[in-house]
Structure 1
Amino acid sequence: MILPIGPLVNGAAIVAGGLLGLALHGRFPDRVRATMFHALGLSILLIGLKMALTGNAPLLVVMSMLAGAVAGEILDIERLMARAGDAVKAHLHSDNALFTDGLVTASVIFCTGTMAILGSFDEALKNDHTLLFAKAALDGSVALILATTHGAGVLLSCLPVALYEAALVYLGATAQGYFTPDRLTQLTAVGGLLIVAIGLNMLGLLKIRVANLLPAMVVAVVLAPWFG
């Protein structure tokens, strides 16, 4: 049994960054926190664009996004995540209106990046934790900023992130021949578009149900062999 060290460290970093963000919450004027949040949104938008432009099969991206959108809306993943967040919020007796949004936004940001996938596979295939440790440092910083505006919901994103990355570690160990560099490139392009959507949401330009687009990444993995 593989011990998913990287995912555990990543989850701990999110909690640490989130706790620091909560501690600093009252020390920043609203205008400073708002500008920091917009700066983070712009940064995430840039990262997503860079990821999306690495793809070399635009038709695969289009098909994955459309099929993923249909599947995600049928499953209504966003509503399921929101209900889970609301249940936790009620259990904790939180009065923060952004609690659930913080949980969902942080979870999607931390789960859809390339480093989560490649880092988990590196840990599974090479016993190399470098990428996930680097991601932990980045996620901790993002959690700090998000927690200053969205509160404790950001901390709880450590659970889906750690579980997701641990699942990828075990998947990588059992299906190491399937995820070729070319297929990972296509997956990165689709994931990049999801990151772009998050950035647009954070900037208040649109309100995209990003969680309902998550099945697009599964579709991309399925279609990738035909677009090698």
Structure 2
Amino acid sequence: MKGTIVNAAAVLVGSGLGLALKRGIPEKYQSTVMHGMALAVGIIGLQMAFKTENILVVILGLAAGAVIGESLNIDGYLNKIGEWLSAKFGSQNNPGENNIGRGFVTSSLVYCIGAMAVVGSIQEGLTGDTSTLYAKSLIDGIVAIVFTASMGIGVAFSSVSIFVYQGLITLLAGFFSAVLSDSIIKEMTATGGILIVGVSILMLELKKIRLANLLPAIPVAAAIAYFWPTM
């Protein structure tokens, strides 16, 4: 799990730099930078989504994943963690600041849904190759600077999400090595790409989406892709 540990550490370092820069950046600049990042995240999501070779797998995965996610109320639990962080650390960071939860939830989704998180963790679990996660660490560290300057210290707490999420995938990859074909990974990536577009919509505050409740769509799409040739 070296790649995941480095990734989490990179986000913490980037968040520290972002907090230092935050004090010297006017709010209007932070807002515009945030909107620019949101548009870039949307493009990344679309590029991932277009990797699908069977859109029906993605659609079915999203539909079934939504049912599972709503029944588990993943979004509700994630937001409760965000609210707890805001209540616990908000006054210490900046009196009146109320966006710690938003920073935690948004950055956790951005860092954990992407293709590099899934593919890189699987790669490390199967072969021990950490190159993809190291590259992701560099990118995430830079993004953390911008995110933290805009959304505050909540971004730093997303390092815990990275450690748990990617670490779990890495550990599970060895158990499922025989079934994780390239076609399955492509459909997982495409499904994750659609969720990344959802993150962009949330960042732009265009629509409230219980996006975390769609996270089960990624493993569900993988399962459907595995059985699809026999269906």
TM-score bucket (shorter structure): over 0.9
1:92 counterpart = 2:89: yes
Runs of 4+ in 1 over 6 A off after TM superposition: none
Instruction: Give the TM-score taking structure 1 as reference length.
Output: 0.94
Q: 1:15 aligns with which of 3, 6, 12?
A: 12
1:197 counterpart = 2:194: no
Shift of 1:20: 0.8
Shift of 1:96: 2.3
Indicate the SS of the match to 2:23.
helix
Pairwise mapping of residues 167-182 of structure 1 onto structure 2 (< 5 A)? Answer: 167-182=168-183
User: Structure 2 CA distance, aligned partners of 1:65 and 1:172?
Assistant: 22
Amino acid at match of 2:10: A
Q: Note the residue ranges of structure 1 that are not aligned, 5 or more in a row.
A: none
Shift of 1:90: 2.5
Amino acid at match of 1:108: L
Indicate the SS of the match to 1:119.
helix
| Corresponding residue of 2:26 | 29
**Considering only aligned residues, what root-mean-square deviation do their CA atoms show, in Å?**
1.3
Is the alpha carbon distance of 1:226 and 1:175 closer, same or farther for their aligned partners in structure 2, counting shifts above 3 Å?
A: closer
Deviation track 1:3-36 (CA, whole Å, cap 9, x = no partner) reads: x100000000000111111111121111211111
| Corresponding residue of 1:67 | 64
| Corresponding residue of 1:151 | 152
Indicate the SS of the match to 1:198.
helix
| Corresponding residue of 1:218 | 219
Q: Note the residue ranges of structure 2 that are not aligned, 5 or more in a row.
A: none
Shift of 1:166: 1.1
Shift of 1:80: 0.5
Amino acid at match of 2:138: A
Shift of 1:73: 1.8
User: Structure 2 CA distance, aligned partners of 1:205 and 1:91?
Assistant: 28
Shift of 1:145: 0.9
| Corresponding residue of 1:80 | 77
Shift of 1:93: 4.9
Report if the CA contact (8 A) 1:147-1:154 is conserved: yes
| Corresponding residue of 1:206 | 207
Shift of 1:148: 1.1
